[in-house]
Structure 1
Amino acid sequence: MKKIKQNGNAILKAGLGYTIGNYMIKGLTFFSIPIFARLLSPDNYGIYNTYIAYESILCMCVGFTLNTCQKNARYKYGKDYGEFVSSCMILLLVSAGTWLLLIKMFEGPLTTYTGFDYWIHNLLILHCLGSAILSIFNVYLSITYSYKGYLLAAGFNAVFNIGLSILLIKTVFSWHPAKGRIVGTVIPVLFLAVFICLYFWKEKRPPADRTTNFRYWRFALAYSVPLIPHGISQVLLNQFDRIMINSICGAAQAGIYSFAYNIYSIVGVTTASLENVWSPWFFEKAQIGEIGSIEKRATQYAVMVALFVSSIMLVSPELIVILGTSSYAGAEYCVIPILVGGFFAFLYTIPVQVQYYYGKTKLIALGTVVAAMINIVLNSIFIPMYGYVAAAYTTAVTYGLNFAFHAFISSRIGNVHYFKWSGLFLSGGLCVTVAAIAVTLVSYIEFRLGVLAVLLFCAFSYWKSVSRKADIQV
């Protein structure tokens, strides 16, 4: 009993550590939004975010989504898990080298298609390599609830990303601020990636023999490669709308839309922090058969996040005004549906753990690929008709469909029911209802604040109810 209680306290401590620490780190990034909104024109803002969209997509191919196999590898290899991670680093270096050769071979067509020159393409590949290494490192730390190491790395990245970008924009790249922002983003990631590789190779050297390396690589690739379409599709859901807006409406509109997405970062940092704890916790509880605990906590988790996201929706137009300039007028009409999509993106992470646990990675990929295709089709229809605002609504719809699909798949896997589905779907219904109210009252702050007061009272009452029923054990 004492051991269980200590484990529960460690999980709670890690959850609070991830969330509070990430808020401090994201606070730096959030504080920088008005700075970059003034340093970058909407055109430059759009160019930078288009680059980030390409990086997010290509990272899945360069990095093979190897971060997804780490939790299973830990249980599979036990004491040799550190050696497995070091071997994965070697595989990533081989992949990045191959991609750099391909970039050189197809330099001309790539420059024509993306609008970026050769050295930005090289930075893009190196950025992808660094991001892939960081992703593995973050999973490695989350497995052991080592939130301090995670926050140290993330804090370093945030501080130097912002500081170096501002310095480069004001000096070396004053002639092209978007390039200064890109270079300032890439350098800290590469520095961390080198440090992480050296750390792992010092702690646990990669296997000296090719046979063991190939055995590790076979497992990693067999598990992770089917998830590449899933990962790319997730990024398409999150990023490709900006590429389409840039192509159809122009870089300025892509910049305004991207600026609206910054409000979602308040939600994103919270759910990402909690997911770092939820995922390994789910694996632990599923392993020992504590299904009742999973079912109860999943519903509470979904409802509390729904109340939080709904609260942000009701004040999002004011956040747009505070953080932006008149150049970004119109972003307030995107932010509410973007937040709805963000909530369903979070909600999907609850049932999809079942598919990860049972290794059904092809099913994970199938659902997300279909959702991404629907999103692209809807965007191609509605963006030309209604402009960039349409992308926010189409993305919200496809994220909702993505959650529903994965919920259906997860409910059919195994003979165990891990979740109370009515609770998860009701939390989604709450979020959509509040969004409809917020959109209707977008010009009436006093009415939105009244709804917010009611919502906060409900959130407080629900929290007290949960606290009374909690028995401390997790």
Structure 2
Amino acid sequence: MNFIKKYKSISVQARAAIWFSACSILQKGISFIVVPFFTRILTTEQYGTYSLYLSWLQILTIITSLYLYYGVFTNGMNKYDTDRDRYISSMQGLTLTITAIVFIIFFATQNAWSDILGLAPHLIFLMFVEMAVTPALSFWSGRQRFEYKYRKLVIVTLCKSIVNPVLGLIMVSLAEDKATARILSVVIVEVCFCGVIMIYQFLKGKCWIDKKYWKFALGMAIPLLPHYLSGMILNKGDQIMISKMVSTSAVAFYSVAYNIGMLVQIFTNAISNSFTPWIYQRIKADKYEKIPETINFLMLLVAAISLCLMLLSPELVLLFGSSGYASAAYVIPPVAASVFFIFLYNILATPQFYFEKTSFLMVSSILAAVVNLGLNYIFIKQYGYVAAGYTTLVCYVLYSIGHAIISRKVMKEFIPGKILFDYKCVVGLSVFVIFAGIGCNFLFDYKIVRYGLLVIFGVVAFAKRDLLMSNIIGLKKK
């Protein structure tokens, strides 16, 4: 009862934040829970085809949607707050128009596309169907979040998250072409949910083309396109290059390991969402004394979680994949280490965002993507798909170093003499995580050593539980 009273007493913004976070975690949790079922029903080549489809889908969606439902959308919701229905309707019209243009190009040269993407023409057709409808749900979700209307969003998101794998398992079990069945099940669910929302938003807004809204959206989105594409290539380019240079089955191995390694991101994203507003408030209030120690604690926490994931790599691959995926365990440590550096560079970039000095972001994204493609070309060819995990780690390490250098210059310009980061701790933990990402691979055959280290970490955490809890409680208050 006390919990219910406390819940009812908090603001609608706080309630919305709680539900949005819980919904995101549950959505990702469900998607991870069903992975072991699909990796056992599908062959490695079939699962690799499905993973390759998802990789190309995420890259091409940037081109067909221009990511209009991200930062551009928020600005539009603010700027056109009295005409949101028409604004959203016209944004749907714009994404559908771009998708149609790209589809016409595909239809005229489908054999060339099939060779480039490594997918059959019918799978590329399904991809275009999915790219046509999914922006509608993103626009609708963005509006629900913007207006703190969390109930409908939570219901729709959870229903879609449950129906997707259930239908997928049924169709895959019954079909001979299981890769196509899995992709088709996803497209059917997207059309059913997103298609209905698309029609609803068109009926409310009654607009396909509005020159003012299109000009505003294109003017903001097109300059950001290289940044978004580079970031996605850095995330998904590995799988595409593995499919070209090794095999589709190798894509399956890498995909399973990569997703396991990225599990830590569920935790780091939650931290970032809470930490960023707090550090902005501290900088605005000119209160810097608590920032370095808070960042140190967060980095230590993320490093510890990443290390535990690395030590359990063989067991996690067996759980999410099967014995046939055993070699994929060697990808998890460098990918888990990469998550630490993704978290780190987001923290290090804070001064750039706060003082609106973000020109380095686009340059760094492009450079990181180019370096990643170059390293992949050299090392995947020589050492196989496992090398892609280490090339990813190298790129995120370089990315973090670049952000540290630029942010230091920004702080010298705007807040000279103030300290946001304990660079000794940053460097020390970074070196530790890098060596852990390499060293854990040599411990896979020694279960006693790995389990012993985990027990030691558990004992230390229990001994320091008061300090740990006081820091966590302090973070919650912040």
SS in 2 for 1:331: helix
Gaps of at least 5 residues in structure 2 are 1-7
What is the rounded CA distance, in whole Å, between the counterparts of 2:302 and 2:153 in structure 1? 23
Q: Which residue of 1 aligns with 2:177?
A: 176
Q: Cα 1:463–1:246, aligned 2, differ >3 Å: closer, same or farther?
A: same
Rg larger in structure: 2
2:100 matches 1:103: no
| Pairwise CA RMSD | 3.5
For residues 198-234 of structure 1, the C-alpha deviation after alignment (integer angstroms, 9 at most, x for no partner) is 45456x62669x6xx3333333223222222222222
| Most deviating of 50-59 and 96-105 | 96-105
Assess if the C-alpha contact under 8 Å between 1:295 and 1:420 holds in 2: yes
2:463 matches 1:464: no
SS in 2 for 1:339: helix
Q: 2:30 aligns with which of 28, 31, 40?
A: 28
Assess if the C-alpha contact under 8 Å between 1:22 and 1:273 holds in 2: no
| Most deviating of 123-132 and 387-396 | 123-132
Alpha-carbon offset, residue 54 of structure 1: 0.7
Residue identity matched to 1:161 = N
2:328 matches 1:331: yes
What is the rounded CA distance, in whole Å, between the counterparts of 1:404 and 1:379 in structure 2? 20
2:414 matches 1:415: yes
Assess if the C-alpha contact under 8 Å between 1:299 and 1:419 holds in 2: no
Assess if the C-alpha contact under 8 Å between 2:333 and 2:440 holds in 1: yes
2:319 matches 1:322: yes
Q: Cα 1:135–1:228, aligned 2, differ >3 Å: closer, same or farther?
A: farther
Q: Cα 1:389–1:470, aligned 2, differ >3 Å: closer, same or farther?
A: closer
SS in 1 for 2:312: helix
Assess if the C-alpha contact under 8 Å between 1:264 and 1:338 holds in 2: yes
Q: Which residue of 2 aligns with 1:397?
A: 394
Q: Percent identity?
A: 26
Residue identity matched to 1:121 = I
| Most deviating of 435-444 and 390-399 | 435-444
Q: 2:310 aligns with which of 313, 322, 336?
A: 313
2:158 matches 1:155: yes
Give structure 1 regions of 4+ aligned residues with deviation exceeding 6 angstroms: 6-12, 293-296
Q: 1:94 aligns with which of 72, 93, 97?
A: 97
What is the rounded CA distance, in whole Å, between the counterparts of 1:228 and 1:47 in structure 2? 27
SS in 2 for 1:330: helix
Alpha-carbon offset, residue 392 of structure 1: 0.7
Residue identity matched to 1:309 = S
> When the two structures are aligned, how many residues end up with a matched partner?
462
Q: Cα 1:268–1:464, aligned 2, differ >3 Å: closer, same or farther?
A: closer
What is the rounded CA distance, in whole Å, between the counterparts of 1:196 and 1:300 in structure 2? 43
Q: Which residue of 1 aligns with 2:5?
A: none
Q: Which residue of 2 aligns with 1:453?
A: 455
Q: Which residue of 2 aligns with 1:46?
A: 48
Q: 1:251 aligns with which of 248, 251, 265?
A: 248
TM-score (structure 1 length as normaliser): 0.84
Assess if the C-alpha contact under 8 Å between 1:59 and 1:131 holds in 2: no
Residue identity matched to 2:312 = V
What is the rounded CA distance, in whole Å, between the counterparts of 1:343 and 1:241 in structure 2? 19
What is the rounded CA distance, in whole Å, between the counterparts of 2:135 and 2:241 in structure 1? 25
Assess if the C-alpha contact under 8 Å between 1:14 and 1:277 holds in 2: no
Q: Which residue of 1 aligns with 2:444?
A: 442
Q: Cα 1:347–1:28, aligned 2, differ >3 Å: closer, same or farther?
A: same
Assess if the C-alpha contact under 8 Å between 1:14 and 1:147 holds in 2: yes
TM-score (structure 2 length as normaliser): 0.83
Alpha-carbon offset, residue 8 of structure 1: 9.0
Assess if the C-alpha contact under 8 Å between 2:268 and 2:343 holds in 1: yes
| Most deviating of 308-317 and 412-421 | 412-421
Gaps of at least 5 residues in structure 1 are 1-5
For residues 25-78 of structure 1, the C-alpha deviation after alignment (integer angstroms, 9 at most, x for no partner) is 333222222211111111111111111111111111111122132344445445
Q: Which residue of 2 aligns with 1:3?
A: none
For residues 101-151 of structure 1, the C-alpha deviation after alignment (integer angstroms, 9 at most, x for no partner) is 222122221123334333322221232344444444444444456555544
Residue identity matched to 2:169 = I
